[in-house]
Amino acid sequence: MKNYLEKLLNQENLTLQEMKDAATISFDDHITENELASFLTALSAKGETPEEIAGLVEVIRKQSSQTTSRLADVMDNCGTGGDGSHSFNISTTAAFVLAGAGVKVAKHGNRSISSKTGSADVLEHLGISLSFAKEHVEEILEENHIVFLYAPHVHPGMKRFMTVRKNLGIPTIFNLIGPLTNPVTLDTQLLGTYRRDMLPSLAEALNQLGRKRALVINGAGYMDEASLAGENHMTLLDKGNITSFTLHPSEVNLPVCPNEAIRGGDAKENAAILLDVLNGKPGPYYDTVLLNAGLGLFAQGTAASIEDGITKADESIQSGAAMEKLQRLIDYSSKISSEVI
């Protein structure tokens, strides 16, 4: 670890293999928390490269108890968090819309970290399991097109890193990579980040991780979701090619609304918002989900354009398909829970 730390302190980037080696060492019990803290701090001070991001992600995924590559055409639409917007659970709600439109979604997420309510908090409140086994994940994805993977459950080896991060109290590479560590091998991805400066780097990291297509977004107000408040910045990865562009909601016939209009609350409040949206209740919450689900369908390739994606997202909700995916996931959770008992 000392050699890698010295390189970082000298402002030298680590190669993909060096980062994989350093990350592998980091899981060794002989490495102290002080050494881990020094490594993460030096990496953050230098600035993380796509190779360093991809290298760490590969090792974390390898360490997971649920890594799988058996399923095809799976995507995730998770954001990094950390934007401080206190919005409702946008990507979680949009995930059911994507599934209702026929996309297989392995929704990776955690409890609340930077917001009042994380994806795990609201889904648990709705009756969805946080402890699906690997065989459950594969079965549910095939039959229902959406499953939830609770980060601490699928990455049990990450506990010591959480302690180090908490003690450091500063953003590190781990604030960027959460959505990338999904143990299910993904073909496509919609990735939200609060770091606008990292859009191209994250797109390149996704390329190195084997994504065929992905869209990395930073919303108006630096949200880690697409926003109705103004101009959204995006970087598209398509078969190795990376391009950047901006999108204003007016360009896709959606209204402009301030980010304050989509604030959320606790798990109970956010669950109610999610249900309202899937039941078709109009308003800023609904339109925000349409935008983000539409972008997800465009990222996945089901939609030929963002406008087409928004139309398909609306159909998913209005037809009841999105709500059906939620109800079936709740039913699966209940069934699995009764089998364990």
Binding-site positions for Mg(2+): 91, 224-225
Q: Judge contact between 179 and 79, C-beta under 8 A.
A: yes
Token pair of 195 as six digits: 């770091």
CA-nearest of 157, 44, 49, 178 to 111 is 178
Q: Is the dihedral of CA 189, 193, 197, 198 positive or negative?
A: negative
Summarize the annotated binding site for anthranilate as residue ranges: 79, 110, 165
Going by their DSSP bridges, the two strands 146-150 and 188-192 should be labelled as: unpaired
Give the residue carrying structure tokens 């594969």: 138
**Residues sharing a CB contact under 8 Å with residue 188, sequence separation 6 or more, in sequence order:** 73, 75, 211, 212, 213, 214, 299, 300, 301
Cα(162)–Cα(142) distance, integer angstroms? 32
Annotated binding site: 79, 82-83, 87, 89-92, 107-115, 119, 165, 224-225
Q: Which helix (H) or strand (E) holds 64?
A: none
Q: Which two tokens stand for residue 58?
A: 């590969």
CA geometry: angle at 64 spanning 146 and 106, to 5°? 10
- Binding residues for 5-phospho-alpha-D-ribose 1-diphosphate are 79, 82-83, 87, 89-92, 107-115, 119
Direct distance between the N- and C-terminal alpha carbons of the chain, in angstroms, rounded to an integer? 45
Amino acid at 93: T
- Contact (CB, 8 A) for 171 and 130: no
